């Protein structure tokens, strides 16, 4: 990284404006040096700055990795805020299904967050909002265009990305109503907790039911045997409205952890609200896997985003 760029990044952390309690500025610190990724990497030629804290007193997971295309002539870059999966209780920042977007000129911020074993919901979405607010507040220092950003995630991260994009007026989630993503990429994220038990029972998924009864209570702090207000409040489908940004949904037809019906129900709700959306159903795919990274899927994702961020 050039000295001038490192100096700007240092200033971004040393001189931060006061934010809300959910998004306190980080203390003065020296950012780690950027790592240069070769053209042969999954991200293409890029620079990555790892473990950037987004709170003043972060836990071990309240940080993000920032991938920037190596071509500085394309700055400021449009931004994808990515949230990894792991049933809200595990996972890593490099679990990102859209590494290729960096090769297509997008900055990628891969966000970590407190797991449900540390704090129950809504801690996870509060962390995601805090991270997004921090990144956007200092976008120019990172060479990012704060007006052109989308949110995305896979599995549990898809659930959080949907909440991040839909629930923009929910102050309990730490949302700033003035901050509005241009679009959402949802890779097989749970959308409706109050119907998850029935959806998994319908497809006779023992593995899905086992995971639901393990991950659900850890996240929500209550059993998932019956519909509840808490489960409703944590469900992205609750926040569907005409104000939502466009959504691209990617779902495996053989998914036994997040049934197809979850994505179909979301699409129906978005259709009824008049929100632009597209459901890409990959019939042979299960929960995640290489079929979500084919050239055909890559083209669909890139075309969807390019049309939106170029407006």
Residue 64 near residue 114, CB atoms below 8 Å: no
Q: Which two tokens stand for residue 75?
A: 């700055």
The three-state (H, E, C) secondary structure of the chain, written as one string:
CCHHHHHHHHHHHHCCCCCCHHHCCCCCCCCCCCEEECCCCCCCCEEEEEEEECCCCCCCCCEEEEEEECCHHHCCEEEEEEECCCCCCCCCCCCCCCCHHHHCCCEEEEECCCCCCCCCCCHHHHHHHHHHHHHHHCHHHHCEEEEEEEEEEECHHHHHHHHHHHCCCCHHHCCCCCCCCCCEEEECCCCCHHHHHHHHHHCCCHHHHHHHHHHHHHHHCCCCCCCCHHHHHCCHHHHCCCCCCCEEEEEECCCCCCCHHHHHHHHHHHHHHCCCEEEEEECCCECECHHHHCHHHHHHHHHHHHHHHCC
Domain count, the chain: 1
Q: For residue 82, list its beta bridge partners.
A: 110, 152
How many angstroms separate the CA atoms of 155 and 84, rounded?
8
Neighbouring residues of 184: CB distance < 8 A, sequence distance ≥ 6 = 150, 151, 152, 161, 162, 164, 165, 166, 244, 245, 246, 247, 248
pTM: 0.91
Where in the sequence is the domain holding 171, given as residue range(s)?
3-309
pLDDT of residue 165: 98
How many angstroms separate the CA atoms of 132 and 179, rounded?
9
Neighbouring residues of 252: CB distance < 8 A, sequence distance ≥ 6 = 188, 260, 281, 282, 284, 285, 286, 287, 288, 289, 291, 292
pLDDT one digit per residue (tens) for the chain, 311 residues:
443 444 444 444 433 333 333 444 443 346 778 999 999 999 999 999 999 999 999 999 999 999 999 987 788 999 999 999 999 999 999 999 999 999 999 999 999 999 999 999 999 999 999 999 999 999 999 999 999 999 999 999 999 999 999 999 999 999 999 999 999 999 999 999 999 999 999 999 999 999 999 999 999 999 999 999 999 999 999 999 999 999 999 999 999 999 999 999 999 999 999 999 999 999 999 999 999 999 999 999 999 999 999 97
Neighbouring residues of 28: CB distance < 8 A, sequence distance ≥ 6 = 13, 14
pLDDT of residue 199: 98
To the nearest 10°, the Cα dihedral for 154, 83, 93, 115?
-100
CATH number at residue 155: 3.40.50.1820
Query: What does residue 25 show for φ and ψ, rounded to 5 degrees?
Result: -70, 150
pLDDT of residue 203: 97
How many angstroms separate the CA atoms of 113 and 187, rounded?
18
pLDDT of residue 32: 75
Q: What is the pLDDT of residues 241-260, one digit of tens each?
A: 999 999 999 999 999 999 99
pLDDT of residue 30: 61
How many angstroms separate the CA atoms of 20 and 174, rounded?
8
Q: Of 6, 185, 26, 156, nearest to 92 (Cα)?
A: 156
How many angstroms separate the CA atoms of 102 and 110, rounded?
12
Residue 22 near residue 179, CB atoms below 8 Å: no
């Amino acid at each position: 990284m050039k000295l001038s760029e490192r100096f700007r990044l240092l200033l971004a952390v040393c001189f931060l404006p006061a934010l809300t309690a959910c998004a306190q500025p980080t203390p003065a610190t020296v950012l780690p040096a950027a790592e240069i990724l070769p053209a042969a990497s999954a991200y293409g030629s890029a620079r990555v700055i790892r473990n950037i804290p987004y709170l003043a007193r972060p836990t071990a997971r309240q940080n993000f990795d920032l991938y920037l295309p190596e071509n500085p002539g394309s700055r400021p870059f449009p931004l994808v805020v990515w949230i990894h999966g792991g049933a809200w209780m595990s996972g890593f920042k490099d679990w990102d299904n859209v590494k290729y977007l960096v090769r297509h000129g997008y900055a990628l911020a891969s966000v970590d967050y407190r797991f449900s074993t540390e704090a129950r919901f809504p801690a996870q979405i509060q962390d995601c909002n805090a991270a997004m607010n921090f990144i956007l507040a200092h976008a120019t220092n990172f060479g990012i265009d704060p007006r052109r950003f989308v949110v995305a995630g896979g599995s549990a991260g898809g659930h959080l990305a949907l909440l991040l994009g839909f629930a923009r007026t929910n102050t309990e989630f730490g949302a700033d109503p003035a901050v509005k993503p241009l679009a959402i990429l949802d890779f097989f994220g749970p959308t409706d907790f109050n119907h998850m038990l029935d959806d998994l029972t319908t497809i006779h998924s023992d593995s899905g039911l086992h995971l639901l009864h393990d991950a659900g209570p850890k996240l929500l702090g209550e059993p998932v045997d019956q519909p509840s207000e808490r489960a409703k409040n944590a469900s992205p489908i609750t926040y569907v409205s005409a104000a939502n940004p466009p959504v691209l949904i990617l779902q495996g037809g053989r998914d036994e952890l997040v049934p197809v019906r979850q994505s179909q129900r979301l699409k129906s709700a978005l259709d009824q609200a008049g929100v632009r959306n597209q459901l890409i159903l990959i019939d042979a795919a299960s929960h995640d896997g290489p079929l979500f990274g084919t050239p055909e899927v890559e083209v669909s994702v890139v075309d969807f985003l390019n049309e939106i961020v170029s407006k």
